[in-house]
Chain A
Amino acid sequence: MNEPITNLWSVPLLVMIPILTAIVVNLLYNKARAIRVISIGAAIAVLAISVVSPYGFHWFAGHPAVNADGTYTFTASVFSWKLSLEYYYGPLQQILIAVTSLLLLFVVVIATKSLSKNYGPYVAIVFLTYVSAAAVIMTNDFYNLWIAVELGSLLVAGLVASSGTGYAQKAALKYTFFSALAGSGLAISLGLILGITGYANITDAIHFLMTNDLGGMHAVLYVAFAFLALAWVYAGGLIPVHPLKSDVYRSAFPHATVLLQAQSKLMLVAIGIVLLRMFGALPFAREVMLSISVLTMIIGIVMALIQTDFRWTLAYIIVSHSGLVTVGLSLGTYKGIVGGLFQAVNDIIYMSILLLCCEMLLYFGKGTSIKFNGGIAKKSPWLAAFVILGTFAASGIPPFNGFQSELIIIQAALEQSLPEVAAVVLMVSISTFIALFRAVYSIFLKPGEDHPVRQSEAKRFEIPTTVFVFLSVLLAISFVLGVYPQLALGFLTESALKVVFVPWVP
């Protein structure tokens, strides 16, 4: 086995290139051409780095770890207490960051092509949203996790508010106000963990807990768990904050929601894994996580079923499927965690397909209402094909990716003797199909009873070439992962094994 390095070259670049890009494009403000070139170049760079990077650690600021005998070391193969802030880039980080980088590229291309002038600050927020997601999934430090979540919450509000409409600003304000609770929860949890262990490094804190008698401090550990779980709920949009998050998903431009939902999934995975590593052995901890997840799935899909606007339907399905991700993680078993992680990857991909299709409806000027639309399939058969296939993927219909991950989660639930959880997953899958297909039928397949204002429009709607390519790429990934899931599972199994058997290892 190779010695893991502690100065992995790629980790700082994945954070600093987007930050520098954000700083520059914000300064450029309305220099559209320059912003477009710089931002697309930067997005390609981070995508390439995430793909070619080897695995390892990065100890920021280059301070060593302290061995038990008081000597210093720069190797990570033997346990020692870290003086530096530690990031880890492993297979899980690679697949999640690579997928998010791909989406970043798509979002940047679409944003710089489809938005009105002055999009420098908007593109800056897009890049910083990516930074918050990448930092959350790579960091092995409670303090840094807190700051990344805090930064991420503010960026979500910025991305939503940038459309400038009244409802978007209201949604952003509400989200900012309540998401402050996520940051505060994480801060209190961090404070208590620091108080008990003296270490902000997650590995070191877990090691301390495993090798020291806490005496009567278990109650403090439960309070720390409760606040970290609160942060998990807020950052990921689980119940009871699902209305806020769905408001955010619906209010942002659909292409921005592509990145927002990816960021949420990464936060759910990152904080969920920390919860399992740190508190997984505490009685009732996983049960609490599982209950929140199941309720999120049910409430999310019920809300999706009663919507009359495609954007709202998608917003609630994203919420519901967030619960699907966390159900897998909350089962806490190897198979459950693999299923949850795989579901996160798949969910990011197929929801992106549907959201980009939704954006196309806005391009066509047809709106996204189920009531005032119809007959789009005739005018844009390709778009109809993409949205129908995306619906199949999201509903867990083979041969697309959603099927594979939902199957693993169902199997994991059954292995844990939780048939009721398996049944709910199945119900969510079927209901997703109903909710989506109801919208798809009304907007695309039903003979056109056009909005009165638009009755004169009979021309064909052409999808822009770039978006056509992006939709094709995402659909191809969805299909390949559905037919050959091992391609993704190979990246996920190591992390799941570590969480279950050696939780102190990031």
Chain B
Amino acid sequence: MEIKELRGIKGIVAAVALLIIFFGVFSSFLQLEGNVARGISEEYNKLAYRIAPNNLASWVYDYRGIDTLLETGVIYVGAVVSVLVLGRGLVRLNVPEEEDIVKVSGMDLKTETMPVLLKYFALPVVILLIAYGLLVVLEAPTSGGGGFQCGVIVSSAYLLSVIIYGKKSPLNMRKKALVAFGTFGWGLYVLMGLPGYLVTGYWQYNVGADLWSWVSTFPGAVPDALKAVFGEPFMLALQLKEGISYATSGILPIINIGESFNVIGAICLIFFAFIYGWSDSEEGASE
């Protein structure tokens, strides 16, 4: 649909619909102001100190971990579909008469005209960005940030290096490696559900933190060895006003690492395909 098609009756209908939607949403928000029910969030807040000090990490990756797993899937699928449209994995029926596949070529990226100053400036920025990304993902359970943010930061480092240096980019990742990044990332996230499933029956039960095996109706038990493997490396001593409390975020840091790999693989692959197009031979930035 083009903008000119919105002239006349279609445009009036669209404008009226938008006005109704705007009025409905805006008036609802006004009514909710000061009346928002706290619901289950109070319980989450009560338990905050027992998992990750960054309560948001507990919400996103533990209590709502399966939501985030599927959200991670949205990023993964976004990459698969975007790159598919550009040529990776387009399929045809093995039949006599099929319509032609639309070929999409890459951008005409010219880096020769890039100022020398930028070329000197970009490399340290890329290194700093990657270091910052690593910091953000490793500190996910204790401060703001996490796998998503790390992935976006590292991807922007990749894009910067490709724009400045082109095929001679120091951050030269092969397209197969980028696909493997995504595979490893989402796969790691999915598989972190397995230990909890095998010992308690609950998928993605946090065996490192093991919050609930003391409840009488809890089925199963977490072996000490498993608790040690997933819990001890991430143990923190929290100074609360009631005294020191030991807490571990358990599997959450590992999930965040998986998340970051997924986002790096997905976003960099989309960049790669848009800049260089796609052919099934190893070419483009990889050479």
Contacts and interface: CB of A to CB of B under 8 A. Distances in A.
B94 A115 contact: yes
A208 B37 CA distance: 10
B284 interface: no
Interface string A52-71: 00000011111110100000
Given A73-B217, A158-B81, A217-B35, A61 B63 contact: yes
Given A62-B202, A115-B93, A84 B215 contact: no
B224 interface: no
A24 B178 CA distance: 14
Contact of B65 (A29, A61, A111, A208): A61
B65 A60 contact: yes
Interface string B61-95: 01111110011011011101101110011111111
B196 interface: yes
B44 interface: yes
Nearest to A222: B24
Size category, B interface: 35 or more
A106 B118 CA distance: 55
B269 to A, nearest CB: 11
A197 B218 CA distance: 28
A365 interface: yes
B36 interface: yes
A135 B70 CA distance: 10
B54 interface: no
A76 to B, nearest CB: 10
A194 interface: yes
A125 B80 CA distance: 8
A131 B69 CA distance: 12
Contacts of B37: 195-198, 208
Contacts of B81: 125, 154-155, 157-158, 161
B193 A12 contact: yes
Contacts of B205: 61-62
A216 B31 CA distance: 8
Interface stretch (B99-107, B132-140, B229-237, B240-248): B99-107
A354 B204 CA distance: 41
B286 interface: no
Interface centre among A82, A116, A172, by most chain B C-beta atoms within 10 angstroms, is A116
A23 B44 contact: no
Query: How large, as a class, is the contact surface on chain A?
Result: 35 or more
Contact of B32 (A73, A84, A201, A220): A220
Given A19-B190, A121-B80, A154-B78, A128 B101 contact: no
B58 to A, nearest CB: 10
B32 A29 contact: no
A153 B206 CA distance: 31
Interface stretch (A162-170, A284-292, A400-408, A423-431): A162-170
A128 B31 contact: no
A167 B96 CA distance: 19
A116 B91 contact: yes
Interface stretch (B151-159, B161-169, B179-187): B179-187
Contact of A367 (B93, B97, B183, B193): B97
A167 B28 CA distance: 40
B239 interface: no
A198 B32 contact: no
B93 A114 contact: yes
B39 A194 contact: yes
Contact of A192 (B28, B62, B65): B28
A211 B92 CA distance: 56
Interface in A111-168: 111, 114-116, 118-122, 124-125, 128, 131, 135, 141, 143-144, 147-148, 150-151, 154-155, 157-158, 161-167
Contacts of A169: 85, 102
B49 interface: no
Contact of B97 (A59, A162, A166, A365): A365
A195 to B, nearest CB: 4
A385 interface: no
A253 B100 CA distance: 14
A306 interface: no
Interface string A342-364: 00000000000000000000110
Interface string A201-235: 10010001000000111011001101000000000
A221 B22 CA distance: 16
Contact of A72 (B24, B27, B212): B212
Nearest to A125: B80
B19 to A, nearest CB: 14
Contact of A118 (B66, B77, B280): B280
Top 5 A-B residue pairs of the complex, sorted by shortest distance between their CB atoms = A198-B39, A62-B202, A121-B89, A7-B201, A365-B96
Given A111-B91, A164-B90, A223-B27, 19 more contacts: A12-B197, A24-B183, A29-B89, A29-B179, A62-B212, A63-B212, A64-B218, A66-B43, A85-B63, A114-B95, A143-B67, A154-B81, A161-B84, A194-B39, A195-B28, A195-B32, A198-B41, A365-B95, A365-B96
8 contacts: A11-B203, A19-B186, A58-B203, A66-B43, A122-B89, A128-B73, A154-B74, A158-B80
Interface of B: 24-25, 27-28, 31-32, 35-41, 43-44, 62-67, 70-71, 73-74, 76-78, 80-81, 83-85, 88-97, 99-102, 179-180, 183, 186-187, 190-191, 193, 196-197, 200-206, 211-212, 215, 217-220, 280
